[in-house]
Amino acid sequence: KLCSAAGHCVSYEELKDLKKNNITHIDVRERWEIDRLGRIPESINIPLSELVEALQMSPEDFREQYHQKMPSKSDHVVFSCLAGARSKQALDFALSLGFS
């Protein structure tokens, strides 16, 4: 299960349905984990250690660094990791930066 700020958790199947809509999926695993375990299709890999800086970049710098459109503070964003602890931290970071 994946959980949101409101405490709403989504299953993998629900996430697949959400990805059909306009959401940004940020995978906060380390790059070596992506290399070893595989990339999640249509996700942006931003290791947790880079996330706060990444979410404060200009949209141009974000696109140059991550090759994707930067999410706005009102966009729907899903964070994922291997076990859930880092994605919860990522959510907390995003909320502290004004993401809703």
Is-contact 26 43, C-beta < 8 A? yes
Catalytic residue among 2, 26, 81, 91: 81
Closest CA to 57 of 97, 23, 91: 97
81 is catalytic: yes
57 SS3 class = coil
Residue 32: Cβ-neighbour burial (10 angstroms; 0-12, 13-18, 19+):
exposed
Q: For the chain, what is the largest distance between any 2 Cα atoms, rounded to a whole number of angstroms? A: 33
Active site residues: 81
